[in-house]
Amino acid sequence: MRKKFIKEMALVLSAATVMSSVTACSNSGGGNTETTTQAVTTAIDDGNTSEDPGKKLAGDYSKEEPIEKIVLQAEDGEFKGNVKVVESTDNGATGKGYVDGFNERGSDEWSYTFTVPQDGHYDFSISSNSGSDNNYKENYFKIDGQEVASFVSQSKNFRITKVRGSYLTEGEHTISIAVSWGYINLDKVTIETSEGVNPEIYNVSPKLVDENATDNTKRLFSYLTDIYGTAFLSGQYCDAAYGMEMQSILLNTDPEVYPAILGLDMGYYSQSAVDHTANTSATENAIAYWEKDGGIVTYCWHWLPPDQYHTGEWYSTFRKENVKMNVTAMVNGEDPEGFELLMKDVDLIA
């Protein structure tokens, strides 16, 4: 049996909830539905980039009924650790005051339990300050105990930071703010129906800038733009086509199911790796995955610089702590030898 591929997963993303479902291509002869190696390439061959009114765009909440704004004053919440109320309206605080004492990670926390009248996506506007326009602070925002975002406070006066598009079911929920950097003041949190994402961001032209692009390239890009905003393709980076990462997938799924996208690394084509007799089959594996198995291929390049720049093992020199070099000097003319060596490797990869 030819290898099966996960074609695509419907995407419904929010800060608190991720849901996905798998769709498949069926055989023309009817009967059992089977996702084969042709799943991706068949979809590409269709070349259908027309608008589908039935598509659900990620971030499109236009059909959700708006609710009345819910305002949670910080001083009315619950406190842990050093968190306490300051009865002052300085710097634009509303209500009876604000909350401070976010000092210790793991112990200082503010929370508030509230109720929403319906299932839906909600935006949270966090009013906070850091005591000074020069103080940059990041802290955790949680919903029902799950961290959904880090928010920034950087001002003397209270200002709004928004966490957008979190999905909540009808009923009671608890939000909390916990210390990452700490040292902020909290005035209030406002909850309202999410504004959603402007659907115009998904209007991506399938036209490529390269007029000499092959038909395969054009069909692939057309397919990617067609599903943009409505689905995602499964993928896996591997040190080889069926390396440890791929084997891990096979241990936990149907042995005949493979990701639609295979990611490979050009690192061992660097001259330093060649000099150290490194072997790679990245090119051959890419060709096989595309031509034989019907998958999509993507590449990265972990550059392994020439030996004179090494301070660690050659195979780890894509990490900055294992090299001593100045890339800026290479490209601005201060290190002409380094520039030539860099260009030599670029030519090898190209």
Same domain for 74 and 135? yes
- Note whether residue 135 is domain-resident: yes
Using an 8 Å Cβ cutoff, are 182 and 105 in contact?
Answer: yes
Q: Based on the domain organization, do 211 and 144 belong to the same domain?
A: no
Domain end among 166, 193, 220: 193
Q: Is residue 242 part of a domain?
A: yes
Neighbouring residues of 89: CB distance < 8 A, sequence distance ≥ 6:
97
3-state secondary structure at position 38: helix
For residues 350 and 337, membership in a common domain is answered with: yes
What's the domain range around 309? 236-350
Q: Is residue 237 a contact partner of residue 245, using CB atoms and an 8 Å limit?
A: yes
Please report, for the domain that includes residue 306, its CATH number: 3.20.20.80
- Which of 233, 251, 283 represents a domain boundary (last residue)? 233
Buried b (16+ CB within 10 A) or exposed e, 282-319: beebbeebbeebbbbbeeebebbbbeebbeeebeebee
Residues 34 and 15 in one domain: yes
Domain contains 65: no
**Residue 164 belongs to a domain:** yes
pLDDT score recorded for residue 284 = 87
CA distance 40 to 223: 9
The domain tally of the chain equals: 3
Give yes or no: residues 14 and 83 share one domain: no
pLDDT at 42: 36
Q: Do both 102 and 205 map to the same domain?
A: no
- Do 303 and 321 reside in the same domain of the chain? yes
Backbone φ and ψ for 81, nearest 5 degrees, come out as 70, -130
Domain match, 210 and 247 both: no
H/E stretch holding 335: none
Considering the domain architecture, whether residues 272 and 125 belong to the same structural domain is answered as no
Q: CA quadruple 141, 142, 143, 148: dihedral positive or negative?
A: positive
Looking at the fold, whether 7 and 120 belong to one and the same domain comes out as: no
Domain-located, residue 292? yes
Whether 105 is in a domain gets the answer yes
**Residue-level pLDDT at 140:** 97
Q: Are residues 347 and 242 in the same domain?
A: yes
**Residue 160 maps to which CATH number?**
2.60.120.260
79 lies in the same domain as 15: no
Mean pLDDT, 10 residues at a time, the chain of 350 residues: 34 25 27 29 41 62 86 98 96 95 97 96 96 94 96 96 93 97 97 86 90 92 90 81 66 72 90 90 86 85 90 89 89 91 90
